[in-house]
A and B are shown apart, each in its own frame.
Chain A
Amino acid sequence: MAVVLLLSGWELAVYLLHIEQWFLPSPSGVIREAYVSWPRLWLHTSATIEKCLLGLAAGILAGMVIGIMMHWWKPVKLAFSPLLILSQNVPSIVLAPLFFVWFGYGLFPKILIIALVCFFPIAVSIMTGLAETDRNLLNYMRMIGAKKRQIFFKLELPFSLPYLFSGLKISATYSVMGAVVAEWLGSSVGLGYYMTLSSKGYRNDRVFAAVFIIIALSYILYLGIGLLQKLIVRWQSSSSKGEA
């Protein structure tokens, strides 16, 4: 509803104030342009989606492995905690050109940038979930003689799933941003590249078309993960329904 209001306000403002299309295009102008140049736009969009999903997958994998290892071995946690924070303090805008120097302009450095942005929320959320495992349940498992491995797979891992999904939602939206930034800085295909090109040519209608698609992508990923969560973490969603 708020989105509709915003778009109509924008449309109206552009119309009433006689703003030029190259300066600020109206939403209808953006959609018209997107429709006209769709084949080219889709080419770039699909390239972004590919990077995004690959990078996200790599980030999830890395985040889970790091989070679980840090939970399992205390020394790993102590050694890696500062590095983990450090990895988030260096802006990806700085890292990207370095990666291109080191790894060339192929897919790999771009995936690396996205994964680097995505793994952090995953690692932190799964670590939190594992560490906050219910004390009563943990006590029970120990009392009946469960081994460390059994406690992990039967109790801690399922317990941390809702936490993991919160991290996943953040990572999913980050992944689109990561992909766009990576393309922006060194690519000849993808929405990030398309936006730089259009911006240089004062085609702001195309810039906004790309922005709309980026927003839609982030949102779809976010919704998809929410749906996955509902399917997998059934015990939680139904219990909150019961309380409502």
Chain B
Amino acid sequence: MLHKLELRHINKSFISPGSDTFVIDDLSLHVKEGEFVSIIGPSGSGKSTVFHMIGGLIRPDHGNIILDGKEITGERGHISYMPQQHSLLPWRTVLDNTILALEVAGVTSKKQAREQAKQWLARVGLAGYESAYPHVLSGGMQQRVGFLRALLSPQEVMCLDEPFGALDALTRMDMQRWLLGIWEQSRRSVLFVTHSIEEALFLSDRIYVFSDKPTRVLEEIEVSFERPRGESILQHREFMRLRAHIYNLMKKEVMS
């Protein structure tokens, strides 16, 4: 099966006067059509750098980024993106924020985009907030808007960079269930960065465990729980085994 998104043998160093940092060492990974793939790794393991390369903000020194069989290395605008900070424009209403990515891509008229967004807002529990400004929303709701904005983007691959990292534990779990519910209906190809082992296991089809700098893939883990998933899998023996396994991998990495 053709890979939706593929990173082949990526290398990257940041060169600054006095100190060169070797950030990424021969990194390869892929996301299949309709697959939910997570990247988990210690802080500062260059996960965001990987995203910036996929987004075309940074060029790798070596290696290729391939989308639908076409090389996109160093090109912008091929992915839909959701950052850790909600990054909503404070002068735009919730509705106008959700259509921002559509507007930038310029594929649909504003009116069409708004119609589409309105229906979605209701589906994701944000009915009645269309004309509110982002600052009146809670952190969780802001991230919902951010996710919806990414979901409505015309680009097929969604890159989510620790979207729930700044939320409190309870909201975070709530958001994970919410995200899973919507994703299981839409089945977009997702690349998801997280710090949380449980979050990665709960959401993903596959997990890449990253090493500390220079970043390599330590291990690729298949997560084969049935979908749609419920919270019951959190008690599953296989879930606990995988969690302990990833935990040990990461612990070794941090200790070494």
Contact with A140, one of B77, B87, B136 (Cβ below 8 angstroms): B87
Q: Is A136 within 8 A of B105, CB to CB?
A: no
CB contacts under 8 Å to A, within B52-110, are: 52, 55-57, 76-81, 83, 85, 87, 89-91, 100-101, 103-105
Cβ-Cβ contact count across A and B, 8 Å cutoff: 67
Q: Is A144 within 8 A of B81, CB to CB?
A: yes
Stretch at the interface among A83-91, A198-206, A231-239: A231-239
CB contacts under 8 Å to A, within B96-149, are: 100-101, 103-105, 133, 135-136
Question: Which residues of A lie under 8 Å from residue B56 when comparing CB positions?
Answer: 145
Question: Which residues of A lie under 8 Å from residue B133 when comparing CB positions?
Answer: 234-235, 238-239
Q: Is A143 within 8 A of B57, CB to CB?
A: yes
Determine how close the nearest CB of chain A comes to the CB of B78; give it in whole angstroms. 7
**Per-position contact with B for A104-121: 1 when CB-CB < 8 Å, else 0?**
000000000000000000
Q: Is B104 within 8 A of A146, CB to CB?
A: yes
CB contacts under 8 Å to B, within A113-149, are: 136-137, 139-146
> How far is A139 from B51 in the complex, measured between Cα atoms in Å?
11
Q: Is B101 within 8 A of A144, CB to CB?
A: yes
Determine how close the nearest CB of chain A comes to the CB of B93; give it in whole angstroms. 9
Q: Is B87 within 8 A of A137, CB to CB?
A: yes
Question: Can you list 14 A-B contacts (CB < 8 A)?
Answer: A136-B83, A137-B87, A139-B57, A139-B87, A140-B81, A141-B104, A142-B55, A143-B52, A143-B55, A144-B81, A154-B89, A161-B91, A235-B90, A235-B133
Q: Using CB atoms and an 8 Å cutoff, list the residues of chain B in contact with chain A.
A: 51-52, 55-57, 76-81, 83, 85, 87, 89-91, 100-101, 103-105, 133, 135-136, 153, 159
Given A144-B100, A154-B103, output 13 extra A-B contacts at Cβ < 8 Å.
A136-B85, A136-B87, A137-B89, A143-B51, A143-B81, A143-B83, A144-B77, A145-B105, A154-B104, A158-B89, A234-B91, A235-B135, A239-B90
